[in-house]
Amino acid sequence: MARKTLFFGLVSLFTLFLFPAPSPAAYKPEYKLSVVVAQNNPWGMSAQKFADLVKERTGGKINIKCYFAGQLFAGMQTNEFLITRQGVGDFAVGSTINWSPTVKEMNLFSLPFFFPDYKALDAVEKGEPGQKLFQVIEQRGVLGLAWGENGYRELTNSKRPVRKPEDLEGLKIRVVGSPIFIDTFRAMGGNPVSINWSETLTALQQGTVDGQENPVSSIIIPYKLWEMNKNITIWHYTIDPLILGVSKLTWDSFDAKDKEIVAQAAREAMAWNKKEARKGLEGSTEAIDILKSKGMEVVVLSPKDMAAFKAKTQSVYDKWIKEIGADLVSAAEKAVKAVSP
């Protein structure tokens, strides 16, 4: 009897050794988070804030390292969605512009003069179109945790004030490597050239390009673009939301409690980011005053001036509504009209 017990005991020990019970997915010593920009601005800072909150609330179990300035993809910013979906990067605080060459639907935010105010953007993000966009990216392997913001993109250049489409003629403008931007600037009369952000400051310094377009509080002020470009046109021509996303591969390895901690930290960090991105721009002239104090000539377009640029971009709409999806665009249009008629 004793022998038999010993025998079975040994057999089960051996079996345990060969086939250990499935352990909970192992956590990695480090999770990588990708950001296109440096840490000197609300976008980069919000990524670090998120990482800090998660580390603190998981007692160091989820340790996220931020890779700033496009380090995870050697500056090739339009690859960010792919590397996140593949799990090469676990997280990204990514611009919808950089994801749009991979996820066509994201070009919604780049339709020229589509979002008249922040209310309209918030309505789209919170409403059906925003949910639909999160479904689209989830199907492609990236879970959207929260919306953040880079901001309304404004035009700067070293040559002259731009008030009307004729002023744009012949100006060489750096844009992101997303085709809708090339189409839009060509339609408006400019001369666009795609350059990664990592090389843009040098291109501006060396005069390879005359200008660029980016948000005031998130990019133009922190990067001191007045050192290269004296003219700025406030025209709100496109808006650039951010998404704090996580690779599905990484997400599925977290237990339920950690998922909740990560999701909550994402919401908090992105809420802070949105507030900072709009700082001095919403119901205030503080950000514009900073630009003026740095010697910039600020042109603020009236709705009528904007309409002259928008009229030039009909071909962009005709082409890109098909790419984005007519249903998504009209759902967004409805959401916009409901809050900003």
Residues lying near ligand X2X in the complex (CB under 6 A) are found at 36-37, 77, 95, 97-98, 150, 176, 197, 214, 219, 240
CB nearer to ligand X2X: pick between 93 and 262: 93
Shortest CB 216 distance to ligand X2X, Å = 12
CB nearer to ligand X2X: pick between 279 and 334: 279
- Residues 50 and 266: beta-carbon distance below 8 Å: yes
Neighbour count for residue 202 (Cβ, 10 Å): 11
CB nearer to ligand X2X: pick between 23 and 206: 206
| Cβ-based burial of 238 (10 A; exposed 0-12, middle 13-18, buried ≥19) | buried
Shortest CB 192 distance to ligand X2X, Å = 12
d(CA 265, CA 91): 13
Shortest CB 109 distance to ligand X2X, Å = 11
CB nearer to ligand X2X: pick between 58 and 96: 96
Distance from CA of residue 335 to its chain's centroid? 21
| Cβ-based burial of 165 (10 A; exposed 0-12, middle 13-18, buried ≥19) | middle
CB nearer to ligand X2X: pick between 154 and 240: 240
* Nearest position to ligand X2X, beta carbon: 197
Shortest CB 97 distance to ligand X2X, Å = 4
Shortest CB 118 distance to ligand X2X, Å = 18
Locate 251 and state its tokens.
């997400």
Half-sphere exposure of 95 (CA within 13 A, CB side): 29
CB nearer to ligand X2X: pick between 214 and 231: 214
Locate 24 and state its tokens.
């909970």
Neighbour count for residue 302 (Cβ, 10 Å): 10
d(CA 59, CA 328): 41
Shortest CB 240 distance to ligand X2X, Å = 6
